[in-house]
């Protein structure tokens, strides 16, 4: 079966010139062919994720086309605006996969809003709701090694899709062949016909405005900060935000500033891993910085290191989550912006210290299953019932969510709040 599928792909006229040489290179290698074709990448609530390459068990334009055709079929059943937002990060072929998804959607009569340059997860979640879309697509493999890419789908609420929606999309995907049953149009022609529309700068500015509106407003002008986007998508929104906050002493790690899907200085670009933070910590020492911020390639996670004597300490997600919660409570009370019935959210595998902080401060607390879609569902429940207003949601793996404009991990907002928190405590010698 997998040999037959391999032969079919090998004989096909493939639109991506990188695929045919790879298929030729494994001719006669049964194990390599089996690895590429024995199974297909499985679509779920986290979308798709796999090694980039040729085959049904790889990330390539044919797998993306099939997945997007399934998504298009589902969107057609949803009514509403019949619009999908698309963003992508710096990974290898992310821009190609984003363009491919747009071509399929446009051919199916679905309007596409796509960022003209790479943008992070929170910007995609924001745009999905900003344009009243039925869904959003984020092309990313998050913090996996460079050989991976992926495809995350968001619902109209800006959250990653539910299990029920994922099952419906998967059922639609399974009805389509990789080559013969996909609707496809030319990208440039669809742009000319206004079927594919670029997301304009106002959307990004409004996103940053929404982030800034959460600020308690403590002075950050004395803060010395080093930032690294780890060659990912965080540079433009995070730099724009820091500038508008008034952080004037910012050093961006030059080797990790520009988008680069090969991640040459951090092969595993996960800020939870000390090796990924090593170059940033070196620059922090050179600059005698107060704070190091590092966002992962799709900018939904942020790692933090703080000065500790002559060196720097890399803080855990649990530590930062607890510090942020305590700071937000105190800062919002001082500013008079604390909700009447505040709530905080975390997960069943995160620290229990957060519950104690909530108890001490009369803040409602709930722990959900792991994953921000569960915390975002709880946020939606609060809004529907009008009983609580959340002030922070976090999990131990460097994910934080604040505000109601993004419904997933948001390293842009977390970077702002961490910088302001650091400045607040340094001003007090703490």
| Strand ranges of the sheet holding 311-314, from the earlier edge strand across to the other edge | 249-252, 224-228, 291-295, 302-308, 311-314
**142 counts as catalytic:** yes
Phi and psi at residue 99, to the nearest 5° = -65, -40
Cα four-point dihedral sign 272, 274, 280, 285: positive
* Beta strands at 135-139 and 291-295: parallel, antiparallel or unpaired: unpaired
Q: From the candidates 87, 125, 142, 415, which is the catalytic residue?
A: 142
Residues identified as active-site = 142
């Amino acid at each position: 079966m997998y040999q037959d599928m391999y032969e079919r792909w090998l004989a096909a006229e493939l639109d991506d010139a990188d695929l045919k040489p790879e298929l030729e290179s494994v001719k006669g290698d049964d194990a390599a062919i089996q690895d590429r074709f024995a199974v297909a990448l499985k679509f779920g609530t986290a979308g798709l994720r796999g090694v980039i390459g040729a085959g049904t068990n790889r990330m390539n334009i044919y797998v993306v086309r099939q997945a997007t055709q399934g998504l298009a079929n589902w969107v057609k059943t949803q009514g509403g605006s019949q619009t999908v937002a698309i963003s992508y990060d710096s990974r290898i072929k992310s821009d190609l996969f984003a363009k491919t998804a747009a071509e399929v959607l446009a051919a199916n009569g679905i309007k596409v809003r796509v960022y003209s340059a790479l943008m992070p997860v929170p910007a995609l979640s924001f745009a999905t709701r900003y344009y009243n879309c039925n869904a959003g697509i984020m092309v990313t493999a998050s913090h996996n090694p460079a050989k991976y890419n992926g495809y995350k789908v968001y619902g109209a609420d800006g959250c990653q899709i539910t299990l029920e929606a994922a099952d419906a999309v998967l059922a639609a995907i399974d009805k389509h062949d990789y080559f013969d049953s996909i609707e496809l149009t030319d990208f440039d022609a669809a742009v000319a016909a206004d079927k594919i529309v670029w997301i304009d700068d106002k959307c990004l500015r409004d996103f940053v405005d929404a982030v800034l509106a959460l600020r308690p407003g403590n002075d950050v002008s004395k803060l010395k900060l080093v930032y690294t986007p780890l060659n990912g998508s965080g540079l433009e929104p995070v730099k724009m935000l820091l500038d508008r906050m008034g952080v004037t002493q910012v050093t961006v790690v030059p080797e990790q500033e520009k988008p680069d899907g090969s991640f040459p200085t951090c092969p595993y670009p996960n800020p939870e891993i000390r090796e990924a933070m090593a170059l940033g910590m070196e620059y922090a020492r050179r600059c005698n910085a107060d704070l190091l911020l590092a966002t992962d390639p799709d900018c939904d996670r942020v790692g933090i290191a703080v000065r500790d004597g002559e060196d720097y300490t890399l803080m855990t997600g649990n530590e930062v989550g607890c510090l942020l919660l305590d700071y937000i409570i105190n800062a919002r009370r001082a500013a008079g912006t604390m909700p009447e019935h505040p709530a905080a959210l975390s997960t069943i595998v995160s620290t229990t210290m957060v519950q104690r902080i909530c108890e001490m401060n009369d803040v409602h607390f709930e722990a959900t299953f792991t994953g921000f879609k569960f915390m975002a569902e709880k946020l939606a429940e609060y809004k529907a019932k009008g009983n609580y207003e959340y002030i922070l949601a976090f999990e131990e793996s460097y994910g934080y969510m604040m505000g109601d404009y993004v419904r997933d991990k948001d390293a842009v907002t977390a970077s702002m709040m961490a910088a302001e928190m650091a400045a607040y405590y340094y001003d007090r010698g703490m």
